[in-house]
Amino acid sequence: MRKLIASAAMAAGLVAGTGAALAQNVGIATSNPGSLFHNIGTSVANAANANGLNTTIQPATSPNQYIPYVNSGGIEFGVANLQEVNYAITGDAWWNGVENPNIRVVGHLQPLVEAIFVRKDSDIMSVSDLKGKPMTDGYTAQNTILPQLSAFYATAGMTRDDVEKVSVASVVAGADAFMAGDTVGFIFAHGAGKVREADAAVGGLRALGVGDDSDEALAAAREHWPTAFFTSLPEGAMPGVLEETTYIAFPQVVFTHADVPDDVVYEMAKAMYEQASVMGETFPPMRAFKPENMKGDPGIAEFHPGALRFFEEMGLN
């Protein structure tokens, strides 16, 4: 976390004015290399650099570690899913009452689409087939994952107690445990580099979708992850998608600190909007990002005034 703390000097040196904003160095906090948010953060940083905003990424283990650093002004930006940002602001769920009131949203990205991955050559064809088998659990450094797992299990009428729990620290560690043969499956976001690594390592993956795509199943999933919705991917869209399948998805965002100057946030929002092609070239799943959807529903969070100024100029509703 030293890199994140060191970047506080960056935030302190920011000044107003578009020209000055473009001359500044700013940071984007991401999770570990191989994770989806590391890939996304890199893409956003490249877009910002293409627009003249000098930006570097600062990896940490997970958003629940670096969101407080953004909240305290230790680094200017971060990437995370919206549900976790909302929980962090209010102090709900695993934040145990610790609020992060200075978090503001810059803009929505494309939704995060998630799956439980197993070996392609296994006899596990559905979420219900995981009953009694060793599965990644714990996620001691990434609290956001357990309710997402529970949401997946809920679509099949299951709970985490229906599997043999193998504790891991993070989604990257979970994929490593799977590749080592310690578990039959792991949860991860579609499109992440670690999924491609696992796909190659075991000779192919199967991406399990929801156990049931009914309204009742979605309601059960939302008991654990309120921003969840169902979406389908066609055969071959991502590693492990062996046929058209329905998965759990939810919004993800770029966020910032309330006191980052408006002009800096304005330039970041502008870069995301104008350099969508750069993000897609950096990380192909980012091609699903639609700039016109940047001003999505932020939940209980607020948009930063700099982002709102850009949205107003662009006529985004």
Q: What is the pLDDT of residues 69-97, one digit of tens each?
A: 999 999 999 999 999 999 999 999 999 99
CA distance linking residue 307 with residue 254, whole number of Å? 11
pLDDT at 184 (0 to 100): 98
Same domain, 227 and 121: yes
Number of domains in the chain: 2
pTM of this structure: 0.85
Q: Are residues 70 and 176 in the same domain?
A: no
Q: What is the pLDDT of residue 64?
A: 87
| Cβ atoms 150, 162 nearer than 8 A | no
First to last CA, the chain: 37
Q: In whole angstroms, what is the distance from residue 33 CA to residue 193 CA?
A: 8
Residue 29: enclosing H or E segment and its boundaries? strand 25-30
- Range(s) of the domain holding residue 125: 112-250
Mark 292-316 as b/e (b = at least 16 C-beta within 10 Å). Answer: eebbbebbebebbebbbbbbeebeb
Domain boundary, last residue among 227, 250, 273: 250
Residue 16 has pLDDT above 50, yes or no: no
Domain boundary among 250, 270, 285: 250
Same domain for 210 and 309?
A: no
**Phi, psi (deg, nearest 5) at residue 217:** -65, -40
- The CATH number linked to 154 is 3.40.190.10
Statement: residue 62 has pLDDT above 80: yes
Instruction: Show which of 223, 250, 277 is a domain's final residue.
Output: 250
The pair of three-digit structure tokens given for residue 189, joined into one six-digit string: 């976001």
Condensed to tens digits (0 to 9), the pLDDT of residues 152-189 reads 999 999 999 999 999 999 999 999 999 999 999 999 99
Quick one: 155 and 260 in the same domain? Answer: no
137 and 74 within one domain: no
What is d(CA 53, CA 210) in angstroms, rounded to the nearest whole number?
40
- 128 and 243: one domain? yes
The verdict on 100 and 178 lying in the same domain is no
**Whether residue 17 is found in the same domain as residue 69:** yes
Weakest mean pLDDT among 13-17, 172-176, 187-191, 206-210: 13-17
Average per-residue pLDDT in the chain?
A: 92
Contact 139, 170 (CB under 8 A): yes
The residues, ordered by sequence, that sit 6+ positions from 237 with a Cβ below 8 Å of its Cβ are 190
Q: What is the pLDDT of residues 257-268, one digit of tens each?
A: 999 999 999 999
Helices marked H in the chain: 2-6, 8-12, 18-23, 36-50, 63-71, 82-90, 145-154, 171-179, 193-202, 215-222, 262-274, 276-282, 305-314
pLDDT attached to residue 12 = 38
263 and 218 part of one domain: no
Q: Which of 2-11, 20-29, 211-220 has the lowest mean pLDDT?
A: 2-11
